Amino acid sequence: MGSEAPILPKWASEPCMMGIDEAGRGPVLGPMVYGCLYCAVSYQKILASLNFADSKTLKEEKREELFENLKANESIGWAVDVIDPSELSAKMLKKTKINLNEISHDSAMGLITRVLAMGVLLTEVYLDTVGDPEKYRIKLSERFPSIKFVVAKKADSLYPVVSGASIVAKVTRDQALRNWVLDETAENMHRNFGSGYPGDPETRAWLEHHKHSVFGFPTLVRFSWGTCTSYFKDIVEVLWESDSLDEEGSSNRSNKRQLKLSSVGFTGCKRKSEEIESSGKGRCKFFQARKLELVNHF
Amino acid sequence: MEVESERGLSDKPKNGILGSIDLRSSESVVDLTGQVHQLPCCIKHDGPCPVSQYFKPHKTGVEVEGLAVEEACFRGRKLQGATIPLPEGYCGYVLGKKKNPEKSNTSEAHEGNCWKVAAKFQNIKYWNHDSLPSGNDAFMRCFHWFAVANALHKPVTCDDLASQSTTSERM
């Protein structure tokens, strides 16, 4: 989504600057949105006079008004990347986990790639840091050698172009959450999510109400968030192969060996309920390869 | 159809078990075809749960090795899977413990091993965490056992013996 006009504006072939900012990184539910705003470097002074401030310091109505203004402004372009909570959960809970910083970096670089592909001559990009600012700047510069990057803490309050991007991101995130259609069709579900931040009492009440003993939460929730872990303590336990690999990696060796001995078969092939799948241990290769085990106890 | 039930209880084999599965009622039981899922995790729960309200597989349009790949998520994990029809001549059953009416003349061990059909199914959706379904998955390879078992358990006929002896004579 963004201002992808069929005809590229004339100013896009002048040297352009871009600001990138994020909204919804902290909340336990809803999408994380990366937004960008770009304009000709020569437009910088006028941009500064448009009163974009860090989106967090503005009231919701004011933010929406500013977003409408910038959408109507032909000297400004914008784009967003909406990362759904199910995508965040899936990536952070993959067998090889992708952390939130990496997801954020990829999203920002995706926006730059998209705007460059439209034919905009980007020469400067300003963004808030994710992780170590210098490492991030080097990563970006290596990927886009023709662009000068300014990575700074609180970039959204320092550079008007980033303030503008923060408005794009924040308004998009708020609208996405407001219009969210729950995938789940269980009864008694409602959409009073609150802000989505773990500290918000309304969000906490929503989580408590929508907790399910087997499924956990609706897919609106980021299952990989620490906030969820405390809720999962009281519900049905689910064991994954990828989790047991983690544990094996960290547990000491003698422990592991003991575990293995006990599962080889001195217990009389009685299947342990916590085993994730059958093993075919102790049988010929044909069965081992297919994890077919002889069950003689039900 | 009773399995191994007429052999009596005294000669219980050491390496096996004795039990019976009653398939007689299988015609009238509920058909769960399209609703049986094999998940790549252990869910420590045994009982009903509203699967169709929370578990929403969708087709991806991607096809791998002739399998139409579907996607779903469970507890935040992305699952990729496919629907596998059971081979011709085979049927999947959900079994439940059978209450034996002639309780007096059966021992406890036998009592615990009487099963009857609670539901049946003709296909199964199996899911991988983070990998596309493939013929190399252990689950898919399990189906090889059917052909091997058939070969192993096919009764030997007089013709088989005759052809076997002619072959060995020639050698």
How does pLDDT run across A34-90, given as a tens digit for each residue?
Answer: 999 999 999 999 998 887 776 677 888 999 999 999 999 999 999 999 999 999 999
Query: Does the complex come out with an ipTM higher than 0.90?
Result: no
Task: For residue B156, count other CB atoms closer than 10 A to its CB.
Answer: 8
Tell me which chain B residue has its CA closest to the CA of residue A244. B41
| pLDDT for the residue A253 | 39
Put simply, whether the predicted model's pTM sits higher than 0.90 gets the answer no
The annotation status of A128 as a binding-site residue, yes or no, is yes
| Residue range A259-272: mean pLDDT, rounded | 38
Q: What is the CATH number of the domain that holds B79?
A: 2.40.128.680
Interface test with chain A among B3, B53, B58, B132, by most A beta carbons within 10 Å: B53
Q: Give the gap in angstroms from C-alpha B39 to the nearest C-alpha of chain A.
A: 10
Q: Which residues of A232-259 are buried (b: 16+ CB within 10 A; e: fewer)?
A: eeebbebbbebeeeeeeeeeeeeeeeee
Segment A157-180, tens digit of pLDDT: 899 999 999 999 999 999 999 999
CA nearest A242 in B: which residue?
Answer: B129
The share of chain A scoring above pLDDT 70, in percent, equals: 86
Domain boundaries, given as residue ranges, for chain A:
10-178, 239-289
Positions in chain B short of pLDDT 50: 1-12, 104, 106
Q: What is the pLDDT of residue A54?
A: 67
Question: Distance between CA B87 and CA B138 in Å, rounded?
Answer: 16
Tell me: is residue A184 an annotated ligand-binding position: no
Supply the pLDDT for residue A34. 98
Q: Which of A215, A246, A272, A273 has the most B C-beta neighbours within 10 Å, making it the best mutation to test the interface with B?
A: A215
What's the domain count of chain B?
Answer: 1
A289 burial (CB, 10 Å; 0-12 / 13-18 / 19+) is: middle
DSSP SS3 for B56: coil
Q: Round the average pLDDT of chain A to a whole number and report it.
A: 86
| Cβ–Cβ below 8 Å for B42 and A216 | no
More confident residue, A151 or B102: A151
Q: Which CATH class is domain A10-178?
A: alpha beta
> What are the pLDDT digits (tens) for B38-49?
999 999 999 999
Q: Radius of gyration over alpha carbons of chain B, in Å?
A: 21
A246 belongs to an annotated ligand binding site: no
Domain that holds residue B164: 3-170
Give the pLDDT score at B101. Answer: 60
